[in-house]
Structure 1
Amino acid sequence: MSAQSETRRIGGRKPRVVISAASLEHLEGLAEDAMARQPDLAKRLIDELARARIVSDAKLPDDVVAMGRPATYRDESTGQEKTVTAVSPEEADIAQGRMSVFTPIGIALLGLAEGASFQWEA
């Protein structure tokens, strides 16, 4: 996955997002809890969840970024690859490769399939 602008678009379209039903309630709760403190991030997460295809855990494809799954992404501008595991904010420790799903890049990566790309401005 490439990271270069905040618009998760491929050829003008946003890439597909797939979320497990088991994660949906937890992610909605994170967004609701953060609405007063970080409304922009909370809204971004809610928007992504609203457009996501929700599937059972058993039907979540193995190549989709999900809570607790390691994922490798590449910054096309630097060529640097990073492997992270999306976790709840209280479990985050970037030094250990555990990235909060409630960060701009965590929200952007959540639900993307292998090979998806999006633009991101740092």
Structure 2
Amino acid sequence: MAGAVLMTVGVLLFSFIDAHTNVLLLSAYMVVFGAGIGLLLQNLVLAAQNEVAASNLGTATSTVSFFRSVGGAIGVSALGVVLANRVTSSLQDRFGSSVTGDCTMKLPDLALRMAPR
């Protein structure tokens, strides 16, 4: 329970971050969030191990680890998209639309490049 509370508090603290947030304050926010993650995630492995027979302990542990990794990958991908869109819109607001470039470029035709001359 304490892990979930600390993690929630850490996420709420992250919502106050802006471009002028002190690095030490940001580090403190990360410590709160990290402590919550650390307290919460190990309990999930322990709960999964308590629910299976001794012969299936490896399977239960690896399944929890697998889904934790998949969830982390999906989370990083989703937040990466959000960050990229946010940075693009911020650059456009500050420097104009010419900063982002034109994404209509085509791949070169390799057959033409490899043809003997």
What band does the TM-score fall into relative to the shorter chain? Answer: under 0.3
When the two structures are superposed, what TM-score results if normalisation uses the length of structure 2? 0.22
Which of structures 1 and 2 has the larger relative contact order (alpha carbons within 8 angstroms, sep 6+)? 1
* Greater radius of gyration (CA): 2
Question: Which is richer in strand?
Answer: 1
TM-score (norm 1): 0.22
